[in-house]
């Protein structure tokens, strides 16, 4: 591999000049610039980013830290982040934490050691507290989950509003015995629960059941089975993320109940399967593309100006009403 010295020799200039050409400095005579450029071409020279990084104390890498890339929400986010990052010449390091605070701490340290320019992070609730100690060392943009460090950039859904809207939708369609399954790893479940409760209160109703459980298909499945096996089962199930939705759907099917006649089902996040199952699932679609892109842009802004005052961008979810919550027969007339 040729290095900058080889280029300098070939072009008959110093390494400083080559570096200036590389940086697009204007203080280089056009003629020399071309000479350098052609030497670069000739030798097929590519600057060593590690060396550049060490000297300039900067890097063109960012970290993306999520609980599990297999969660369709994060899959989609990750794609958006990468697209936005690569447009700016940045690469993306991916980390899965499994909602485990120790892994979160570990990966944040690793990313710091790798000198990433910044991190896009979806932290557990437990980790939120420790966040500020990292935030002073690396620019961080938090996504999906609110943290109460006021100094941090965030991109969030209006979760309470979304939970409210989804619940109102159920109520308007005639469902009354609403059970809610909420993820317990983040504030997101809690916020969606707030909207859920508020909507119920406004209708002078109480939740049929409320459960805060690990956001996993298996948990959604088991919890729903238990709900359905109760003597007086709910007539609608509200799930706060797509993994719980999948588990609930499976449980309902295994109990040979009909959606929505026996029990309605609503959830969050558009997935491939949400529209394919019978009946298709009513849900709040999050603008994942926009979330990922916005988070990346916010991060770049903070990298460029660390003293900039922190922003919180709140995006709206979109209710997609489908068969799984169709109006109850008695209501539809």
Partner DNA sequence: GCCAGTAGTGTAAACGATTACATTTTATTT
Partner DNA sequence: AAATAAAATGTAATCGTTTACACTACTGGC
Q: Within positions 241 to 280, which residues make up the interface with a second copy, using CB under 8 A?
A: 246, 249-250, 253, 271-273, 275-278
Residue identified by tokens 């005639």 is 174
Mask: binding to a second copy, 53-82, rule CB under 8 A, as x and -? Answer: xx----x-x------xxx-x--xx-xx--x
| Dihedral, CA of residue 301, residue 305, residue 310 and residue 312, to nearest 10 | 0
Considering just the CA atoms, what is the radius of gyration of the chain in Å? Answer: 25
Q: Count of residues for the chain?
A: 333
Element holding 118 (H helix, E strand): strand 118-121
19 binds, among a second copy, DNA, none (CB under 5 to 8 A by kind): DNA
281 neighbors 259 (Cβ within 8 angstroms): no
Q: How far is the CB of 82 from a second copy (least distance, A)?
A: 6
Query: Quick one: what does residue 323 bind among a second copy, DNA, none, with the CB cut-off 5 to 8 Å set by partner type?
Result: none
Phi, psi of 172, deg, nearest 5 = -65, -30
How many whole angstroms separate alpha carbon 31 and alpha carbon 29? 5
- DSSP readout, 138-194? S-EEEESS--S-TTSEEEEE-HHHHHHHHHHHHHHTT---EEEEEESSSHHHHHHHH
Dist CA 170 CA 116 (whole Å): 45
Structure tokens given for 126: 């437990």
Contact mark string toward a second copy, 106..145, x via CB under 8 A: ---xxxxxxx------------------------------
Contact map string, positions 55 to 94, toward DNA, x by CB under 7 A: xxx-------------------------------------
Determine, following the binding rule CB under 7 A, whether residue 44 of this chain makes contact with DNA. no
Contact 249, 323 (CB under 8 A): no
Which partner in DNA, a second copy, none is near 14 (CB below 5 to 8 A by kind)?
DNA
- In the list a second copy, DNA, none, the entry touching 252 (Cβ below 5 to 8 angstroms by class) is none
Smaller CB distance to DNA: residue 55 or 256?
55
Q: 45 or 127, CB closer to a second copy? A: 45
Paired sense of beta strands 178-183 and 209-213, if any: parallel
Q: What is the footprint of DNA within residues 6-25 (CB under 7 A)?
A: 12-20, 22-23
Query: What is the binding site for a second copy (CB under 8 A)?
Result: 46-51, 53-54, 59, 61, 68-70, 72, 75-76, 78-79, 82-83, 86, 91-96, 109-115, 217, 246, 249-250, 253, 271-273, 275-278
Query: What is the binding site for DNA (CB under 7 A)?
Result: 1, 3-5, 12-20, 22-23, 26-29, 31-33, 45-48, 51-52, 54-57
């Amino acid at each position: 591999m040729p290095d900058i010295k080889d280029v300098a020799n070939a072009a008959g200039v110093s390494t400083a000049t080559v570096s200036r050409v590389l940086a697009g400095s204007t203080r280089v005579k056009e003629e020399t610039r071309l000479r350098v450029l052609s030497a670069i071409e000739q030798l097929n020279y590519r600057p060593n980013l590690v060396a550049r990084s060490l000297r300039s104390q900067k890097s063109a890498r960012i970290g993306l830290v999520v609980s599990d890339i297999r969660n369709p929400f994060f899959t989609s986010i990750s794609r958006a982040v990468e697209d936005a990052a690569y447009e700016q010449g940045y690469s993306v390091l991916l980390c899965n934490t499994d909602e485990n605070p120790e892994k979160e701490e570990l990966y944040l340290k690793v990313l710091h050691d790798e000198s990433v320019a910044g991190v896009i992070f979806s932290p557990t609730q437990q980790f939120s507290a420790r966040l500020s100690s990292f935030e002073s060392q690396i620019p961080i943009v938090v996504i999906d989950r609110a943290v109460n460090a006021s100094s941090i950039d965030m991109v969030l859904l209006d979760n309470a509003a979304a939970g409210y809207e989804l619940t109102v939708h159920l109520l308007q369609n005639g469902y009354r015995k609403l059970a809610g399954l909420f993820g317990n790893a983040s504030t997101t479940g809690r916020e969606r629960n707030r909207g859920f409760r508020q909507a119920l209160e406004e209708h002078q109703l109480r939740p049929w059941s409320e459960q805060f459980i690990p956001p996993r298909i298996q948990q959604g499945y088991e919890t729903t089975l238990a709900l359905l096996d109760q003597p007086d089962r709910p007539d609608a199930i509200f799930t706060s993320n797509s993994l719980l939705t999948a588990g609930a759907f499976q449980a309902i099917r295994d109990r040979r109940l009909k959606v929505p006649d026996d029990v309605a089902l609503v959830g969050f996040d558009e997935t491939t399967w949400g529209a394919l199952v019978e009946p298709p699932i009513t849900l709040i679609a999050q603008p994942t593309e926009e979330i990922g892109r916005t988070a990346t842009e916010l991060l770049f802004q903070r990298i460029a100006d660390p003293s900039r005052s922190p922003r919180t961008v709140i995006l709206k979810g979109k209710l997609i009403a489908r068969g799984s919550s169709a109006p109850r027969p008695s209501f539809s007339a």
